[in-house]
Structure 1
């Protein structure tokens, strides 16, 4: 079948050959059968088997069937709907010479009744014996253009295959060159690393010898003191104690200094951000940097960062006459002079408290505040639909200052520097952003968690001294500490950290986190070590803030019917 079809054009062109008329219904079924009859009503050739359907169906009995020979002179090929009107789906019977359009009977009556020359097609059809030269020329040009397109496509496919092969060749060549360069790099870096190791070991050996001497001196002093106090006279004991005191003090100072300066030495290699491959020996250009990094041993130094807190004062937060409901302090922060700013989300208020937690100022807002940060001695910023600025005078008078319109939904807020905030988001794909005091918003160049936090499920703070961002994840019971400079992070999970909510920067730039389900404040180092945990005399602690001099902290809770605010003195 396929072979016969492929040679059809060739067979048609053989001189003297008579072309057989094929049964059209059979051809529609991919079956080639020579036609025996022609139906002028169906306008198609049919074999005997297919034409018998005219005798079976009453609707077809009026069709006129003739033999193929009778129809050979007048039959037309199947028009494939070319002879049907697009609008009425009826056969074309007329031609409008005025508008040069084919018309069915409906078209002639409806659309061309005002035309002067609408003639029957069968009366003028005999005048056309061959396609018009214009139509044939157009088709010829179209065929030539199509052949050019086909040739171009074939050429493009061939060129594409060659390009792909060339890419493979180039990559293999580059791979071989890179491998040779990395072999040189490995030799060069290993030599430098061995040198650093030798120098570092020499330094550690010196420190070890010094420590051994101190240890021997301590042992000798202990033996001397024990001997004199065991066998000596009272006079000898008195003289020995006063004589050795200065030596013992100096020895203790030296050992304490060594203890505080303990270091963990790591050698690592980091490639440059963009690896360049210049036409130079790898030993002359190393695409990276060999770093000798020393980190203080935190297990020793963290003892000095552990926080102790002492209760100073506490107040109950009750509903007042002009309140809608029990207050919920969703944000608190210290003014530089020690006064406390608080925002009441439930009753849409901003309040000022003195150092004794006595309310000395109040201002009715027209929006629900979420968090507050002190910007300067007399200005605070509040997150809501936008960032609102208030002026707070020394006399505790509060007034609206300005509104900074933003596009992102912000909850927690803290200062990054004197021109920018670090703000925690909610219902946004970016958990933390930077906003200037004029409202310009941008992102950190850090891979934060790919997570959208609902409102109240996360808070963020910024540690200016080390350029770190802290994010609490309430329902994952996790605290994230991100180093902006190195794009690294610590993930803090611990049984003491349960539903972490509010956070603040504490003494020695440690991290303080409210944990509601355990009623505690947890202190965390910047490297994720739990330093201390303080049990609070309140249920469900919610927000925490620390004074500018790191000497006081205030905590508020979120417990309906038992709202409290407590102030603590910090000592280390």
Structure 2
């Protein structure tokens, strides 16, 4: 947009063109810097009010370049003296701006707030564009990964087919060779008999008398006929045996390129982005309590909590990784219960009114314990599992969602009883070591959230549609634990920024909250979404903090 330059009026009177930078309300003229300096020199001009050109333009009529000193109440419009005569002479109420402005107790519109909101929205869109560009790059990579996975699956199918078909072919070969060996033995026996009879017949015909020939023919006739019949039967019944394998015509690839027959569809999808203000109210956090986590009593090491969750009555249950304990804290973060475990715990989730489930990062175990109203803890049952698990949360009343450790599939489902199984999702083909990733599950929308600490990335997987959102932003540095916040937003513990970042389920960054804690590690939210508790992983300065959530 081109901006029209305004010339200094005193300079123009001297036939000199100089760009104006100031406007004097008292002198009612635009002035350059040199001409406006007189207001700072002479006392008679010091009471004059100077504005920048931009500020002055905001108070002047675009059409007549006069001061907007009048306001038409009929048309709710600012006007200059010329506008009032030309355009508003039939209006009933045209008053001075100073008069109507003096009557106003508050501005009719808060321009600063409107502009700030526009600025925030523009910045949000800018971040969203960066995320979208990154997502497009990742999507293209994912396309290649999917095709390769499909290729590998097909190759595995053909490898299995080869093993199966060859095994069956060898079995048929062995059966057929046995049959042919038997035939060969019979034929060789017949050949020997024929050769013996031929030798006898040749000898008699060559050296014998006529009488001897007659006697030999009569004596051997039946035997020779028997041998010849057997040979003839073998010739008539003999079959040529071959083994072959033919593909079903539906599986036979066409003579043209495979790209003409792609067994899938490549799509480009445009989706309207949700409005932050329309869908999610941004939360605020107010710290209500904070404690230092120190070595106490019979602890062998400093307390290191690696898992935490709210109990239904508002108390907290936590697992102390170093000291192999499960702990109970009241609403004021005072420790009111403790239970010694025989293994190293990793994470904990509340299962029911009085039961919790615990995972271990070192043992193949999932433990169920009972926590009484009196904060007494007892073991209910232990379940052996085939994978080491870190994070754990409820999928529904009968199943858990767990994050794996050093396993190629990063997220699995574990029923309360039974073997684990997988989501039908293309999770990163990556085995995460302990503390390198965390996961949680959103029941209301059937979505899985997965963090990747080294990649500074949060993945949001939609189980229903099989799609995902990849979130990368400067606010998300070394993401650790995740929890589900108010309105089912996603709360991410970010070690690199010492903050809790709030995301929408579509990957929008709604808010970021700097907290008084180094290296936030895990978080949990009360059932009514009114409180958030965060623990950290800063050795020597371990903390647990509780925050009030407001919208």
- The two structures have a TM-score, normalised by structure 1, of 0.51
Instruction: Tell me if 1:359 matches 2:335.
Output: yes
Give matches, 1:28-47, under 5 Å: none
Q: Which residue of 1 aligns with 2:370?
A: 391
Task: Look up the SS of the partner of 2:496 in the other structure.
Answer: helix
Runs of at least 5 residues in structure 2 that lack an aligned partner in the other structure: 1-186, 196-230
Instruction: Tell me if 1:571 matches 2:547.
Output: no
Distance 1:169 1:390 in 2: 57
Distance 1:415 1:169 in 2: 47
> How far did 1:438 drift?
1.7
Q: Is the 1:325–1:346 contact (alpha carbons within 8 Å) kept by the matching residues of 2?
A: yes
> How far did 1:295 drift?
6.3
Q: Which residue of 1 aligns with 2:323?
A: 347
- Give CA deviations for 1:37-65 in whole Å, capped at 9, x if unaligned: xxxxxxxxxxxxxxxxxxxxxxxxxxxxx
Distance 1:168 1:471 in 2: 39
Runs of at least 5 residues in structure 1 that lack an aligned partner in the other structure: 1-131, 180-272, 276-291
> How far did 1:170 drift?
10
- Give CA deviations for 1:352-381 in whole Å, capped at 9, x if unaligned: 111111111111111110000001111111
Distance 1:300 1:341 in 2: 35
Instruction: Tell me if 1:521 matches 2:497.
Output: no
Distance 2:411 2:469 in 1: 16
Instruction: Tell me if 1:559 matches 2:538.
Output: yes
The correspondence for 1:301, drawn from 278, 287, 290, is 278
- Give CA deviations for 1:326-349 in whole Å, capped at 9, x if unaligned: 111000000111101110000011
Q: Which residue of 1 aligns with 2:356?
A: 380
> How far did 1:293 drift?
11
- Give CA deviations for 1:268-290 in whole Å, capped at 9, x if unaligned: xxxxx999xxxxxxxxxxxxxxx
The correspondence for 2:303, drawn from 321, 327, 340, is 327
- Give CA deviations for 1:493-521 in whole Å, capped at 9, x if unaligned: 11111111111001110111111121111
Instruction: Tell me if 1:504 matches 2:483.
Output: yes
Q: Which residue of 1 aligns with 2:3?
A: none
- Give CA deviations for 1:469-499 in whole Å, capped at 9, x if unaligned: 0011111111110000000000111111111
Give matches, 1:456-471, under 5 Å: 456-471=435-450
> How far did 1:136 drift?
6.4
Q: Which residue of 1 aligns with 2:170?
A: none
Q: Is the 2:276–2:510 contact (alpha carbons within 8 Å) kept by the matching residues of 1?
A: no
Instruction: Tell me if 1:492 matches 2:471.
Output: yes
Q: Which residue of 2 aligns with 1:317?
A: 293
> How far did 1:298 drift?
2.6
Change (3 A) 1:137 1:309: farther
Instruction: Tell me if 1:411 matches 2:390.
Output: yes
Q: Is the 1:406–1:439 contact (alpha carbons within 8 Å) kept by the matching residues of 2?
A: no
The correspondence for 2:422, drawn from 419, 422, 443, is 443
- Give CA deviations for 1:151-172 in whole Å, capped at 9, x if unaligned: 655xx77x96xx89x7799968
- Give CA deviations for 1:414-453 in whole Å, capped at 9, x if unaligned: 0111111111111111111111112431111122111111
Larger Rg: 1
Task: Look up the SS of the partner of 1:567 in the other structure.
Answer: strand
Give matches, 1:191-340, under 5 Å: 297-302=274-279, 304-340=280-316
Change (3 A) 1:430 1:314: same
Q: Is the 1:373–1:380 contact (alpha carbons within 8 Å) kept by the matching residues of 2?
A: yes
Give matches, 1:140-219, under 5 Å: 152-153=241-242
Give matches, 1:94-133, under 5 Å: none
- Give CA deviations for 1:123-176 in whole Å, capped at 9, x if unaligned: xxxxxxxxx9759669x99xx99xx89x655xx77x96xx89x77999689x9x
Distance 1:561 1:458 in 2: 23
The correspondence for 2:433, drawn from 454, 463, 466, is 454
Q: Which residue of 1 aligns with 2:520?
A: 541
Q: Which residue of 2 aligns with 1:422?
A: 401
Q: Is the 1:405–1:439 contact (alpha carbons within 8 Å) kept by the matching residues of 2?
A: no
Question: What is the number of residues matched between the two proteins?
Answer: 318
Distance 1:152 1:495 in 2: 72
Distance 1:459 1:170 in 2: 44
- Give CA deviations for 1:97-127 in whole Å, capped at 9, x if unaligned: xxxxxxxxxxxxxxxxxxxxxxxxxxxxxxx
Instruction: Tell me if 1:476 matches 2:455.
Output: yes
Q: Which residue of 1 aligns with 2:510?
A: 531
Q: Which residue of 1 aligns with 2:345?
A: 369
Distance 1:311 1:317 in 2: 17
Distance 2:303 2:328 in 1: 14
Distance 1:168 1:405 in 2: 43
Task: Look up the SS of the partner of 1:305 in the other structure.
Answer: coil
- Give CA deviations for 1:172-228 in whole Å, capped at 9, x if unaligned: 89x9xx99xxxxxxxxxxxxxxxxxxxxxxxxxxxxxxxxxxxxxxxxxxxxxxxxx
Change (3 A) 1:135 1:427: farther
